[in-house]
Amino acid sequence: MPVAIITRASKDLGRALGGSSRPSPCTRGSRRRRRREPPYPERFAVPEASARLINAVRAGDGRVVAVGTTAVRAVESAAGADGVVRAGGGWTDLVVTPERGVRMVDVLVTGLHEPQASHLLMLEAVAGRAAVQRAYEEAAAGCCVWHEFGDAHLVLPPQTAHPAHCSSNRM
């Protein structure tokens, strides 16, 4: 199954997952918000090569893996109402919530955010509230510190069987 990785620093991860990757400029938000305040607007760019790859993966049987919340906001902002990601850039003030959902991104690799951060709503949009809550309870029990250099976790959608595609997933 192909995997599209959409940040410059993730080529090795993409290859390790057996997928292909295209570099995409990614800026990391340097200011932190508190108490679920919306994130600040961010500059983003989605190059033509990345848009083509994401659209090809979406059209096939693959998953789009975003590395970082900025990458999610960029790709979701570059997607039209028709579900096609178009190359472009600018500023986005998109707030991804469970109510809005994600349309283009299937999996997220991100750092641990403060438990009150608005970015947790984005994680809930990808994985569901219960999974995010369990993950943060485990992190707190393990004395994890939010925003430690090098911290990351993989945020997956709820597991479902895909009998049409995966015969080993029979329930």
The per-residue DSSP string of 149-166 comes to TT--EEE-PPP---TTT-
* Statement: the pTM of the whole predicted model exceeds 0.85: no
Identify the domain containing residue 80 by its residue range: 3-169
Residue 98 in contact with residue 83, Cβ under 8 Å? no
Structural domains of the chain, count: 1
The pLDDT tens digits of the residues spanning 16-56 come to 455 554 444 333 344 444 556 888 999 999 999 999 999 99
Q: What is the rounded average pLDDT for all residues in the chain?
A: 76
CA-CA-CA-CA torsion for 74, 80, 86, 87, nearest 10 degrees? -40
DSSP 10: G
pLDDT tens-digit readout, 97-114: 999 999 999 999 988 777
Q: Residue 38 belongs to a domain with what CATH number?
A: 3.40.1780.10
Model confidence at 9: pLDDT above 80: no
Integer Cα distance of 167 and 146 in angstroms: 39
Residue 155 has φ and ψ, to the nearest 5°, of -110, 115
Contact status, residue 70 vs residue 29, Cβ threshold 8 Å = yes
